């Protein structure tokens, strides 16, 4: 009987040990300052500190989306009396033609941030961290930063208004908060995460990667801590892990929902009172923008 107890005890200890091993032995950790910037935007944050910098993750084939954003919300530089700028985040491809096309686009628009890492979907964490690094090195004078995607509508004016009203300028992080999400363990799911990548059953609170906003000090702090946080290919969860370590809790920007990662049907009055909406095709973005511009005099019912 004693032997059985001893055996069970040993098995228990072994299980406990194995459950703790993965992070120490198997996980890969990001190295800061790796690779060099290949393209940098034309901006002098020291001379003219932006109130808000919008960083848009983009890929080489999304030229139409970038052009639509430049013609709409990304083209605005003065909003509610505040200076705002929009830049695109890109990695590299093997094809020289495509690299040349990006270099040319960067020369023309001066709004591309590119570093030397392979531009594939599951390098989105590297792309996001490149944005954090860029803010840390080149634009810590900005008050706020938004990280968003190429298929988004962003109401920069309303966001600016809400940020001014909120008046929280350090350790601030907001977006569509996922307070209690968990890893998907089905192998064939796009967002499958193995127990080796992430051994726990819950993610810390994080904001949907479709659009989140933070005070610029958070960029430096996340960049700084990123080396000591186990790497995860899901960029929004990875940022959530960094925030948890920094003890920064994502908080609401407004009492009403303003971030819509699941999309939202367009109407002028509705889109005047949201910050971000997902699943917007380039052509729709142009159409919606025209409708919003053309109806500036129109009153909307009070909420």
Ligand X SMILES: *[C@@H]1O[C@H](CO)[C@@H](O)[C@H](O)[C@H]1NC(C)=O
Residue 151 dihedral angles phi and psi, to the nearest 5°: -105, 45
- The nearest distance, CB 169 to ligand X, in angstroms, is 7
For the CB of residue 170, give the shortest distance to ligand X in the complex, in Å.
Answer: 9
**Look-up of token digits 């570093």:** 115
SS3 content of the chain, % helix, strand, coil (to 5): 40, 20, 40
Alpha helices by DSSP H, the chain: 2-25, 63-71, 96-109, 124-138, 156-166, 216-225, 235-246, 268-272, 282-294
Nearer to ligand X, 136 or 178 (CB): 136
CB of 264 to ligand X, least distance (A): 30
Q: What backbone torsions phi and psi does residue 242 show, to the nearest 5 degrees?
A: -65, -45
Give contact residues for ligand X (rule: CB under 6 A): 117-118, 120, 122-123, 126, 167, 220-221, 224-225, 228
**Nearer Cβ to ligand X (209/261):** 209
Instruction: Write down the least CB distance from residue 80 to ligand X, Å.
Output: 13
Residues 6+ apart with CB under 8 A from 9: none
Residue closer to ligand X, measured from CB, 173 or 260:
173
Whether 129 contacts 34, CB under 8 Å: no
Compute the CA torsion angle 211, 110, 82, 178 (nearest 10 deg): 10
For the bound state, the minimum distance from the C-beta of residue 61 to ligand X, rounded and expressed in Å, comes to: 16
**Residue (122 or 196) nearer to ligand X, CB:** 122
Pick the closer one to ligand X by CB: 27 or 224. 224
* Residue placing its CB nearer to ligand X in the complex, 165 or 249: 165
Least distance (Å) between residue 288 CB and ligand X: 31
List the beta bridge partners of residue 114: 39, 90
**Contact between residue 48 and residue 83 where contact means Cβ atoms under 8 Å apart:** yes
């Amino acid at each position: 009987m004693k032997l059985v107890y001893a055996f069970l005890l040993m098995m228990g200890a072994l299980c406990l040990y194995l459950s703790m091993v993965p992070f120490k032995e198997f996980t890969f950790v990001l190295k800061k300052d790796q690779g060099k910037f290949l393209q940098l935007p034309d901006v002098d944050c020291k001379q003219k500190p932006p109130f808000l910098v919008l960083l848009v993750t983009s890929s080489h084939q999304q030229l139409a989306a970038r052009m639509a954003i430049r013609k709409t919300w990304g083209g605005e530089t003065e909003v509610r009396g505040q200076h705002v700028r929009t830049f695109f985040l890109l990695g590299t491809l093997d094809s020289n033609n495509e690299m040349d096309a990006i270099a040319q686009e960067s020369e023309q628009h001066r709004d591309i941030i590119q570093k030397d890492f392979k531009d594939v979907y599951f390098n989105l964490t590297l792309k996001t961290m490149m944005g954090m690094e860029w803010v840390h090195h080149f634009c810590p004078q900005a008050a706020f930063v938004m990280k968003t995607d190429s298929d988004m509508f962003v109401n920069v004016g309303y966001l600016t208004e809400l940020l001014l009203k909120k008046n929280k300028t350090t350790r601030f992080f907001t977006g569509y908060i996922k307070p209690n999400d968990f890893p998907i363990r089905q192998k064939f799911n796009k967002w499958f995460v193995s127990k080796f990548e992430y051994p726990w059953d819950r993610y810390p609170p994080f904001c949907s990667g479709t659009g989140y906003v933070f005070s610029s000090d958070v960029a430096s702090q996340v960049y700084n801590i990123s080396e000591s946080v186990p790497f995860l290919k899901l960029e929004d969860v990875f940022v959530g892990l960094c925030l948890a370590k920094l003890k920064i809790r994502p908080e609401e920007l407004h009492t009403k929902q303003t971030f819509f990662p699941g999309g939202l049907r367009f109407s002028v009055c509705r889109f005047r009172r949201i910050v971000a909406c997902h699943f917007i095709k380039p052509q729709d973005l142009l159409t919606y923008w025209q409708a919003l511009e053309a109806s500036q005099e129109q009153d909307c019912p009070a909420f």
